[in-house]
Amino acid sequence: NAGVTQTPKFQVLKTGQSMTLQCAQDMNHEYMSWYRQDPGMGLRLIHYSVGAGITDQGEVPNGYNVSRSTTEDFPLRLLSAAPSQTSVYFCASSPAGERYNSPLHFGNGTRLTVT
């Protein structure tokens, strides 16, 4: 049981390039979300999804797009990378319902550097 898998683990981009961070989960979780983690800033929510075909913006959505065509996958797209997007990105998933004892499952992160 792989849980939440993020690829790639590391990525270096030049300013203006685009790329997609992949996230896949095999737990049949309805809820998925993307966070970025910056030093001294904790984790901030970028986008989230409560099910296939449904996405919504989090706290810091600018510069990122998401889609949720299947339950398993929730890719995060950077349209035109900027140095301010240098960060560690975490994908998370959780089952639906008011199940506080089954909270977020995190991937191991993608470390992105934009030069």
Which positions touch other proteins (CB under 8 A)?
Answer: 4, 31, 33, 35, 40-45, 48, 50, 56, 58, 90, 92-101, 103-104, 106-109
To the nearest whole angstrom, how small is the minimum distance from the Cβ of residue 15 to other proteins? 26
To the nearest whole angstrom, how small is the minimum distance from the Cβ of residue 7 to other proteins? 14
Cβ closest to other proteins, residue 62 vs residue 100: 100
Cβ closest to other proteins, residue 12 vs residue 41: 41
Torsion region of 54: left, alpha or beta (phi above 0 gives left; psi -120 to 50 gives alpha):
beta
To the nearest whole angstrom, how small is the minimum distance from the Cβ of residue 36 to other proteins? 11
**CA-based nearest residue to 84, from 65, 63, 59, 66:** 63
Cβ closest to other proteins, residue 87 vs residue 94: 94
Q: Which residues contact 32 (CB under 8 A, 6 or more apart)?
A: 23, 25, 48, 49, 68, 74, 91, 92, 93
To the nearest whole angstrom, how small is the minimum distance from the Cβ of residue 16 to other proteins? 29
* CA atoms of 67 and 21, how far apart (whole Å): 12
